[in-house]
Amino acid sequence: MSRDNPQSSAAARVALAAVLTAITALFTYAVRIPIAPTRGYLNLGDVAIFFSAFTFGPVTALVSGGLGTALADLLSGYSQWAPISLAVHGLQGLVAALVAGTLSWDETRSRRTTAVRWTLAALAATAVMCGGYLLSGTFMVGFGAALVELPGNLLQNAAGLLGGIPLTLAVRRAYPPVRRLRW
């Protein structure tokens, strides 16, 4: 990617968002644990969402998180959840990236500061995702059924962080120019 050609930079970012959308859809689709009361499911899509947020920034996380999970819902027979996944997981990725400060990522930032920002980002993104599904589920199937899904959504976010953060650190270490692809 050349710094002299801004169009190649934009094209690379769009292509990256498309690839991350496919990866998010795959992570969401590949492992599905059904939740009977809400007719929803738990998955590993949050690994890809947190990786996208912490590595590539808010726009990429918004697009890939929302589209990837909605696409997986459509492909797996959970189409009633696709619009909700589009909004909730898109906002989850956006919030995680904005709170973590991906746009101002700086190698001189201490590990402690990074850990604090990622912790705050995780809490905010988890609140968005769990709150979004609790609210949506309440309208779709009732509060009691939606509440049954809450512990699973918390667990799904924890798994997303446990997979997404090490992946982010490994990619940053292995390919430092990745910071130019933030968007």
CA distance 134 to 129: 8
pLDDT per residue over 102-136, tens digit each? 444 455 566 777 788 888 999 999 999 999 999 99
The pTM (predicted TM-score) of the whole model is 0.88
Average confidence (pLDDT) over 6-25: 85
Encoded tokens for 50: 């947190």
Name residues whose C-beta falls within 8 Å of residue 70's C-beta, 6 or more positions apart in sequence: 82, 83, 85, 86, 89
CA distance 155 to 148: 13
Give the pLDDT confidence score for residue 123 in this predicted structure: 95
pLDDT per residue over 28-54, tens digit each? 999 888 876 667 778 899 999 999 999
Helix, strand, coil tally for the chain in percent (to 5): 80, 5, 15
Average confidence (pLDDT) over 158-178: 91
Q: What percent of the chain has pLDDT over 90?
A: 62
Task: Please list, residue by residue across 56-68, b when 16 or more beta carbons sit within 10 angstroms of its beta carbon and e when fewer do.
Answer: bbbbbbbbbbbbb
Average confidence (pLDDT) over 152-170: 92
pLDDT per residue over 53-111, tens digit each? 999 999 999 999 999 999 999 999 989 999 999 999 999 999 999 999 844 445 556 67
Does residue 2 register a pLDDT over 80?
no
CA distance 96 to 159: 15
Domain boundaries, the chain: 6-181
Does residue 9 register a pLDDT over 90?
no
Question: Which CATH fold would you assign to the domain 6-181?
Answer: Arp2/3 complex 21 kDa subunit ARPC3 (1.10.1760)
Encoded tokens for 121: 């980002």
